[in-house]
Structure 1
Amino acid sequence: MSALAGEAAELPARACREIPLLAAIVPALAGAALLTLPRARAVWSAGEFYDSDDAMRAVQLRDLLAGQAWFDMTARRLDPPDGLFMHWSRVVDTPLAALDLLFGLFLAPEMAERVTRLAFPFLCLALLFALAAFTARVFADRSARMFAVWLVFLSAPMFVQFTPGRIDHHAPQILLLMATFGLVAFGLHPKRPLALAAAAAPLALSLAISLENIPFFIVALATPAILFLVEGKTAARRLLSFALGLLIFAPLTFAATVAPSRYGLSACDAYSAVHIRAVLVGALGFAALAAAAPRLETLPRRIVGLGLVGAAALGAFLASAPHCLGDPLVALDPLLRDLWLSHVTEAKPLKAFVSDPALLVSTAAPVLLGLVAALALAWRERGLARGRWAILAAAILIGFTAALWQIRVFSSVTPLAMVALAGAAAALSARLAHVMPLLRWLTIGLLCVFVSPMGLALALQSDGEAAPRETRRACLEASAFSGLAALPPARIVAPVDMGAHILAFTPHHVFAAPYHRDNRGNRLAVDAFLAEPAAAERLLRAAGAELLLWCDGGETGDALIERAPQGLAAALARGESLPFLEKIPLERSPFHVFALRPAQ
Structure 2
Amino acid sequence: MSLAASVASREARLPAIVVIMVALILSAALSFSRAEIVWRTGAFFDSDDAMRAAQLRDFLSGQSWFDLTAHRLDPPSGLPMHWSRIVDVPLAGLDLFFSKFLAPEYAERATRLVFPFALLAALFAVAGWLGRILSSAAAGLAAIWLVMLSGAMFLQFAPGRIDHHAPQIVTLALAFGFFLQGLDPKGAWRLAAAAALMALSFAISLENLPFFVVLIAALPTLFIIDGARAPLLWFSAGALAAFPSLYAAINPRAAWFASACDAFSFVHLAALFAGALSLGAVALLAPRLATIRARIFAVGAAGAATGATVLLIAPRCIGDPLGGLDPLLRDLWLSHVVEAKPLFSLYATAPGMVVATAAPVALGLAAALGFALKTEGVVRRRWLLAAAVIAIGFAAGLWQIRVFTSVTPLAMIPLAVAIVALVERLDVGRALRVALAAAIAMFLSPIGLAVALPSKDDPDTVAERACLSPEVFAPLASLPASRVAGSFDLGSHLLAHTPHSVFAAPYHRDNRGNRIVADAFTAAPEQAEAILRNAGADLVVWCARAKQPSSLVTAAPNGLAAMLARGEAPAWLDRKSAPGASLLVFALRPVK
Superimposed CA distance per residue, residues 463-488 of structure 1 (whole angstroms, 9 cap, x where no aligned partner): 458xx967762111111000000001
1:324 Cα offset (Å): 1.0
Q: 435, 448, 462: which one pairs with 1:455? A: 448
Which of 442, 448, 467 in structure 1 is aligned with 2:435?
Answer: 442
- Does the C-alpha gap of structure 1 residues 282 and 384 become closer, same or farther in structure 2, counting only changes over 3 Å? same
Q: Which residue pairs with 1:352 in the alignment?
A: 345
RMSD of aligned Cα (Å) = 1.8
- Is 1:279 the counterpart of 2:276 in the alignment? no
Map 1:382-393; keep pairs closer than 5 Å: 382-393=376-387
The alpha-carbon deviation at position 461 of structure 1 amounts to 2.5
- Give the structure 2 partner of residue 11 of structure 1: none
Q: Which runs of 5+ in 2 are unaligned?
A: 1-8
From 131, 135, 138, the counterpart of 2:130: 135
Matches within 5 A, 1:148-547: 148-232=143-227, 235-355=228-348, 356-432=350-426, 434-463=427-456, 473-547=465-539
Letter in 2 for 1:504: A
For structure 1, the residue ranges without an aligned partner over 5 or more in a row are 1-13
Q: How many percent identity over aligned positions? A: 53
Is contact 2:142-2:437 (8 Å) kept? Answer: no
Matched, 1:123 2:115: no
Could you say if the C-alpha distance between residues 470 and 580 of structure 1 is closer, same or farther in structure 2, counting changes exceeding 3 Å? closer
In the superposition, relative to structure 1, how do residues 182 and 122 fare at CA in structure 2: closer, same or farther (>3 Å)?
same
Rounded Cα–Cα distance in structure 2 between residues aligned with 1:18 and 1:42: 35
CA, structure 1 residues 159+553, in 2 after alignment: closer, same or farther (shift >3 Å)?
same
2:585 is paired with a residue whose SS is strand
Q: Name the SS for the 1:205 alignment partner.
A: helix
Q: Residues of 1 paired with 2:461 and 2:48: CA distance?
A: 13
Q: Deviations over 1:283-312 (max 9, x none)?
A: 001110111010011100000000000010
- How far 1:425 moved relative to its partner? 2.4
CA deviation string 1:204-243 (max 9, x = no partner): 11111111111111111112212211111xx211210000
CA separation in 2, counterparts of 1:577 and 1:309? Answer: 62
Q: Aligned partners of 1:528 and 1:377: how far apart in 2?
A: 57
SS at match of 2:550: helix
CA distance in structure 2 between the partners assigned to 1:358 and 1:203 by the alignment = 34
Instruction: Tell me which of 567, 570, 574 is aligned to 1:575.
Output: 567
TM-score, normalised by the number of residues in structure 2: 0.96
- CA distance, structure 1, for counterparts of residue 443 and residue 457 of structure 2: 19
The residue aligned with 1:83 is 78
Return 363-372 or 223-232, whichever deviates more: 223-232
CA contact (8 A) 2:577 2:583 kept: no
Which of 548, 561, 576 is the aligned partner of 1:584? 576
The structure 2 residue matched to 1:68, chosen from 63, 68, 87, is: 63
The residue aligned with 2:52 is 57
**Matched AA of 1:334:** P
Distance 2:94 2:466 in 1: 30
CA distance 1:195–1:588, change in 2 (3 Å): farther
Please report how far the alpha carbon of residue 16 of structure 1 lies from its aligned counterpart in structure 2 after TM superposition.
Answer: 10
TM-superposed CA distance for 1:553, in Å, is 4.4
> Does residue 38 of structure 1 match 2:33?
yes
SS, match of residue 473 in structure 1: helix
**1:443-474 Cα shifts (integer Å, max 9, x gaps):** 22221111110011111233458xx9677621
Shift of 1:587: 7.0
Q: Which moved more, 1:551-560 or 1:561-570?
A: 551-560
Displacement after TM superposition at 1:556 (Å): 9.3
Asked whether the 8 Å contact 2:464–2:545 carries over to 1, the reply is no
Deviates further, 571-580 or 559-568: 571-580
Quick check: 1:474–1:590 contact (8 Å CA) kept in 2? yes
Q: How many residues are aligned here?
A: 582
Q: Provide the residue aligned with 1:10 in structure 2.
A: none
Q: Secondary structure at the match of 1:425?
A: helix
- Asked if structure 2 preserves the Cα contact closer than 8 Å seen for 1:343 and 1:555, the reply is no
CA shift at 1:17, angstroms?
5.7
CA contact (8 A) 2:504 2:517 kept: yes
C-alpha distance 331-555 of structure 1, shift in aligned 2 (>3 A): farther
Q: Is the 8 Å Cα contact of residues 135 and 182 (structure 1) preserved in structure 2?
A: yes
Q: Is the 8 A contact 2:129 2:140 kept in 1?
A: yes
Tell me the residue number matched to 2:3: none
For residue 404 of structure 1, give the secondary structure of its aligned residue in structure 2.
Answer: helix
1:57-109 deviations in whole A, cap 9, x for unaligned?
A: 00010000000000000001000000000000001111100110111111111
1:23 aligns with 2:23: no
Aligned amino acid, residue 44 of structure 1: W
Segment of structure 1 superposing worse, 215-224 or 162-171: 215-224
SS of the counterpart of 1:271?
A: coil
CA distance in 1, matches of 2:13, 2:409: 23
